[in-house]
Every structure is written in structure tokens, then in C-alpha cells.
Amino acid sequence: NAGVTQTPKFQVLKTGQSMTLQCAQDMNHEYMSWYRQDPGMGLRLIHYSVGAGITDQGEVPNGYNVSRSTTEDFPLRLLSAAPSQTSVYFCASSRSDEQFFGPGTRLTVL
């Protein structure tokens, strides 16, 4: 099992560019989530999904879109990147009582 994988590991964008952060899991988990980590603020939930075709907003959803067409994949889209979106992004998947985190994507928006 690869667990939760994220690509890319690092990314630099210019303001206004768009991109998609990829997340995949091979554990057949129903639940998947995206978090961003900023110094002194812990991890904040961006979007989450309780199954294919079902998504909902977390604490900080503005500027991000998600979709869940398959159980395995949960991509995060930045439509028009802003410097405030510079952060480390973590994807997670969970069974009933434990979340498994990916290695993270470090994003810098200039």
C-alpha cells in the first residue's frame, strides 16, 4: 500500500495562475480531507468529502475548489492563486477513527 500520496511536493506559482494539487489513496477510505498548515495556526480544514460525489466546505474554503469523482482521488484546485495561499497543504484519508496524512505539498505564490 502506498497510503496517501500527494503531488507535486513543491510548487511555485505567480499570482493569478491556477493549478491542481493531486491527492490519491489506495486504502478504500470513504473520507478524505484537505488541510493547510501555516506557522502558529495549526492545520485548518479547507474541504472534505464523505464519499464519491459528496463534498463540503471546511473552515477556510475560499479560493479553493474540490471534486470527488472516485473513491481514490480528491484533487484540490486553486483557480487564481494569491500570496495568501502560500502554505503547506496536506491531504488525508480516514477510516472510522483514524486519519492518514500524505507527505504534503509546499506551495509558494509570488
Partner 1 sequence: AQSVTQLDSQVPVFEEAPVELRCNYSSSVSVYLFWYVQYPNQGLQLLLKYLSGSTLVKGINGFEAEFNKSQTSFHLRKPSVHISDTAEYFCAVSSSNTGKLIFGQGTTLQVKP
Does residue 19 touch partner 1 according to CB under 8 A? Answer: no
**Per CB under 8 A, 104 contacts partner 1:** yes
Q: Tell which one of 25, 85, 87, 93 touches partner 1 (CB under 8 A).
A: 93
Half-sphere exposure of 19 (CA within 13 A, CB side): 20
**Cell numbers representing residue 79 in the block:** 483557480
Our measurement of the distance from residue 3's CA atom to the centroid of its chain's CA atoms, rounded to an integer in Å, reads 15
Residue 63 Cβ vs partner 1, minimum distance, rounded to whole Å: 20
Chain residues 60-89 in contact with partner 1, contact rule CB under 8 A: none
Size of the site for partner 1 (CB under 8 A): 27
Cell numbers for 73, please give them.
Answer: 482521488
Residues contributing to the site for partner 1 (CB under 8 A)? 29, 31-33, 35, 40-45, 48, 50, 58-59, 90, 92-94, 96-99, 101-104
